[in-house]
């Protein structure tokens, strides 16, 4: 899973399915994490036209099929497992190479699909936190490992 997490952070763009305007929800917290790390992240939510973080307003898109650069975008997913299955299928059809399933966003079938169908599928048991692989807990170290690996290849 660590290799998949490193691969996840080699994308040029990022998206957050289940993004929220509410600072108390994980969809906001994950989008904010990308914002804090200066990573271009597109919020995916059909329920609102934009999400604001600090002084930045991000226009939203309704689904992974609306991504401008899907083959260069890694996708964090923070939705209920039943919705995650639909998001995964749309992301696969759009050509998204990597997905990160936040704790609580998947069932066994969804996790198996993500690992099998994407170049990198991150989720499930492991990571540094007690609830499984989480961008908020594991993202920093995985992003740094990806940068180091890229530097070594040059």
Sequence spans of domains, the chain: 2-153
Task: Specify the pLDDT at position 68.
Answer: 97
Q: How confident is the model at residue 2 (pLDDT cuts 50, 70, 90)?
A: confident
Residue 131's pLDDT band (boundaries 50, 70, 90)?
confident
Share of the chain above pLDDT 70, in %: 97
Superfamily of domain 2-153: NAD(P)-binding Rossmann-like Domain (3.40.50.720)
Residue 117: band (very low, low, confident or very high) from pLDDT cuts 50, 70, 90: very high
CA–CA dist 110, 106 (Å, integer): 5
Q: How confident is the model at residue 153 (pLDDT cuts 50, 70, 90)?
A: low
Q: Is 139 exposed, middle or buried (0-12, 13-18, 19+ CB in 10 A)?
A: buried
Whether this prediction's pTM lies above 0.85 is answered by yes
**154 pLDDT more than 70:** no
Cβ(132)–Cβ(126) under 8 Å? Answer: yes
Lowest mean pLDDT of 6-15, 40-49, 87-96, 143-152, name the range.
143-152
Cβ-in-10-Å burial (0-12, 13-18, 19+) of 35 comes to: middle
What local confidence, expressed as pLDDT, does residue 67 receive? 97
8 Å CB contact between 101 and 111:
yes
């Amino acid at each position: 899973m660590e290799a998949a997490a490193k691969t996840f952070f080699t994308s040029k763009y990022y998206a957050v399915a289940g993004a929220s305007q509410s600072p108390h929800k994980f969809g906001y917290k994950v989008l904010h994490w990308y914002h804090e790390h200066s990573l271009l992240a597109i919020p995916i939510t059909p329920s609102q036209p934009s999400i604001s973080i600090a002084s930045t307003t991000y226009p939203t898109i309704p689904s992974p099929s609306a991504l401008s650069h899907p083959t260069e975008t890694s996708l964090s997913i923070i939705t209920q497992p039943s919705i995650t299955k639909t998001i995964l299928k749309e992301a696969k059809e759009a050509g998204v190479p990597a997905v990160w399933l936040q704790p609580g966003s998947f069932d066994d079938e969804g996790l198996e699909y993500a690992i099998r169908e994407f170049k990198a599928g991150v989720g499930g048991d492991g990571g540094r936190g007690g609830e499984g692989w989480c961008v908020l807990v594991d993202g920093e170290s995985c992003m740094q490992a990806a940068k180091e690996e890229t530097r070594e290849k040059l």
